[in-house]
Amino acid sequence: MQNIDAVIKILKANYKTFKKPVVTEISEERNPFKVLISCLLSLRTRDEVTGKASERLFNIADKPEELLKLSNKKIESLIYPVSFYKVKAKRIKEICNILINNYASKVPDSLEELLKLKGVGRKTAGITMTYGFNKTVSIPTDSHVHILSNRLGWVKTKAPNETEQELMKIVPKKYWHDLNDLFVAFGQNICLSVSPLCSKCPINKYCPKKGVVNSR
């Protein structure tokens, strides 16, 4: 595990050559509500689709009260073609209603309270805390973080939630805030889920390529 510092340093140096993950771009507004909703839209959806859907939605309504006034059909039309757009439209309205009634229209700034919101899992809650509130309380772990961490041999896990817990044991806390952002960008551009571009990988010498069957 001596390579964590070296890997993070290299990824940070190369990060500027990659397109930022869409939720990271949205988080630059420092608006936890937009981060929460865009993260919900991003589940099982390509970044390009998420970005355009988020833009269409927020151009019409970017506050809980405004979104709640929209019909489910209207929200569906704005966020289509994100995956499970009908379910997500319904979930967004449910969350907006809870935020208005239980949290004075504000997104709660604790992991525990975020996890009480229907449809919000650890990844979404972690992203909202980290990039919406700039509070480092966990390592948001999606498929990119899960896959890369296992390929690097940092963990040996079967699911993202398990990966998150193991990473928090071994990764210095100073890296927690940036890890998701770095790994998502790297996973979208180099360490692809299928046939990673190992020949172009700047951290190739640190990677035992655990579980990699085909690479380029």
What is d(CA 14, CA 182) in angstroms, rounded to the nearest whole number?
9
The pTM assigned to this predicted structure is: 0.93
Superfamily of 31-132 according to CATH? Hypothetical protein; domain 2 (1.10.340.30)
Half-sphere exposure of 199 (CA within 13 A, CB side): 4
By C-alpha distance, which of 69, 43, 73 is closest to 142? 43
What is d(CA 99, CA 107) in angstroms, rounded to the nearest whole number?
6
CATH top class, domain 4-19+138-206: mainly alpha
Alpha-carbon distances, residue 169 vs 2, 141, 147, 162, 182 (angstroms):
14, 14, 17, 11, 19
Peptide bond into 81 cis (omega under 30): yes
Q: What is the DSSP letter of 30?
A: -
Tokens, residue 194: 């299928």
Half-sphere exposure of 109 (CA within 13 A, CB side): 11
Q: Domain spans of the chain?
A: 4-19+138-206, 31-132
**216 residues of the chain, pLDDT tens digit each:** 569 999 999 999 999 999 899 999 999 999 999 999 999 999 999 999 999 999 999 999 999 999 999 999 999 999 999 999 999 999 999 999 999 999 999 999 999 999 999 999 999 999 999 999 999 999 999 999 999 999 999 999 999 999 999 999 999 999 999 999 999 999 999 999 999 999 999 999 999 999 998 899
